[in-house]
Amino acid sequence: MKKKYLQKQSKFNEQLDINVGLGLPQEKYDENEQCQSCKLTLKQDDRYIPILISTFAKQNRYDTMPMELQNLLNAETLNLFNVSSCKHQFHFKCLANSFKTKLHQEYPSWLISNCPICQQSCNLLYPNSQLEVHFNLFIQELEAILIELNLDLQLSLKYEGREELILFDIFYQLLINILIQMIQQKVDFQRSGKVQIFQQFIRILKHHYKNINYKQNILKFKKGQIFILDIMMLIENQVMSVINKNDFEQEISKILLSLPKQNDDLVKILFTCFEIKFNDELFYGEQNEISSMCITDFYQTQKEISNQIAILLGKNFETFRHRYIKNLCKKCGFFATKQKQGQDIAVCLLCLKTLCLGSCKNYKIGNLSIHAEEEHNCHSVYVCLSSGNVVITSYPMSYVNCFSLFYNNLGQEINQLTYTNLDWDKYNLDMEKVEQISKIILYNQYQQIIRNALNDQNRNRQNVRRNL
């Protein structure tokens, strides 16, 4: 078998050399033009990318963006949605078997639907075409996702009597989130196809505006506060046809050319997002007016979250345990009873409340999932008081023993809690693990981590449960 393979490879290489010698054009493989499932060519009217639209965990302990921007968005309730995606494209039929939301109403769509290639969780099929019928179908599916995320009532109250504006609000939130991701995750931004998604969202917005004209701006920020919001107000004005294409491009270019020169990589990505040609001479020759403070603050966010978590946990397991051991479970009001039964107690890192693992009232869904749903928009991260192990929760599932936070000098974690060997002060907090938690909180990775664990056929899959 190996010999035949080597012979075929040798013939292929010989033919390739002949073609190069004759100057014949070589076929180039472009994975973006082929379905990643069947490997056939993608047609312009049949290409889809699986994406995940989710809510952020509700919490006010950690700043996930510069405070000024966060306060402005929170004041207008424009910080609800997060967009996750991969770059894999498929024919609609090729995704049908992996995208089974309608068949499993017991579980949320992010848990049962995924990209067949990279296993990225998804709940929407994003059409990468220019057909208006695909835009309309996507809008209908987006409305269904709003109901699944339990945000339909909240947005209906916000736009009472003007419910037709809800979809515009959602799209503007999604665009803001994508712009923030561009700063937070530069490397992943282009790799995950966010540029194309950003461009397509604007096209869908313009299409939807043709059907529903509104005259008063939804985005009511003051010009000159933060460049991201200035960009968004220009987008809305273009959608509403307040400014034409040429004026829009000039105004966008003016903002981007005013950004600090050390952020030229971000500026180039932004020019690509708006399909405007980047002019090196203009950018490097301009007197940059916008302060880099906002962009710098984004880069400091993860470090600040890590430092906050480290302070809350303490330098070693002894400090951590003694700090929270006297707290009672917020569901049953007890602690000692559960511990005698061999069950654990966990502290929520988003609010510092303690809860018994499992259900105190014999519900099918455990305390951690219920707490996450009731107080944190379905997501949270917990640390167990008996082991320092981390639990990641996204309703209705929890991933227990995700990793440990405390290790001794030999790199060993706490396997079993005993009172005969009280060397807990020898188990120190691992800052690399703390940084992992800060990324989960900052990038809203709860669902994807649980999804990855479910895909693991070995130990990790067994640690994903509903009853925690």
Whole-model pTM? 0.86
Three state DSSP letters for 90-119: ECHHHHHCCCCHHHCCCCCHHHHCECCCCC
Contact 449, 440 (CB under 8 A): yes
Cβ atoms < 10 Å from Cβ of 312: 16
Is 192 domain-assigned? yes
Query: What is the rounded distance in angstroms from the CA atom of residue 180 to the CA atom of residue 80?
Result: 13
Is 98 domain-assigned? yes
Task: Say whether both 238 and 308 belong to one domain.
Answer: no
Q: Is the pLDDT score of 341 beyond 60? A: no
**Among 10-24, 147-161, 267-281, 319-333, which stretch is predicted with the lowest mean pLDDT?**
10-24
Is 277 domain-assigned? no
User: What is the rounded radius of gyration, in angstroms, for the C-alpha atoms of the chain?
Assistant: 25
Task: Say whether both 207 and 332 belong to one domain.
Answer: no
CA distances from 366 to 91, 122, 142, 328, 468 (A): 39, 24, 29, 17, 4
Is 9 domain-assigned? no
Which of 242, 260, 289 is the C-terminal boundary of a domain? Answer: 242
Task: Say whether both 59 and 203 belong to one domain.
Answer: yes
Task: Say whether both 208 and 318 belong to one domain.
Answer: no
pLDDT average, residue stretch 20-44:
70
Number of domains in the chain: 2
Sign of the alpha-carbon dihedral angle for 296, 299, 305, 310: negative
Which of 242, 264, 283 is the C-terminal boundary of a domain? Answer: 242
Task: Say whether both 235 and 347 belong to one domain.
Answer: no
Q: Which domain holds residue 435?
A: 299-465
Is 399 domain-assigned? yes
Q: Which two tokens stand for residue 440?
A: 């989960």
DSSP code for 261: G
Convert the pLDDT of each residue in 191-240 to its tens digit.
788 999 999 999 999 999 988 888 889 999 998 889 999 999 999 999 99
Is 14 domain-assigned? no
DSSP string computed for 308-340: HHHHHH-SBHHHHHHHHTTPPBTTTS-SHHHHH
Angle between helices 227-239 and 67-75 (to 10 degrees): 40
Query: What is the rounded distance in angstroms from the CA atom of residue 343 to the CA atom of residue 356?
Result: 7
Q: Is the pLDDT score of 275 beyond 70? A: yes
Q: Of the candidates 128, 116, 107, 108, which has an alpha carbon nearest to the alpha carbon of residue 45? A: 128
Is 197 domain-assigned? yes
Convert the pLDDT of each residue in 149-180 to its tens digit.
888 888 999 999 889 999 999 999 999 999 99
Task: Say whether both 199 and 134 belong to one domain.
Answer: yes
Task: Say whether both 66 and 154 belong to one domain.
Answer: yes
Dihedrals φ, ψ of 174, to 5°? -65, -40
pLDDT average, residue stretch 388-400:
93
Whole-number pLDDT of residue 8:
54
Which of 216, 242, 268 is the C-terminal boundary of a domain? Answer: 242
Whole-number pLDDT of residue 28:
47
- Report the alpha-carbon angle 168-372-398, nearest 5: 110
Task: Say whether both 62 and 156 belong to one domain.
Answer: yes
Task: Say whether both 236 and 324 belong to one domain.
Answer: no
Is 64 domain-assigned? yes
Task: Say whether both 223 and 313 belong to one domain.
Answer: no
Whole-number pLDDT of residue 309:
97
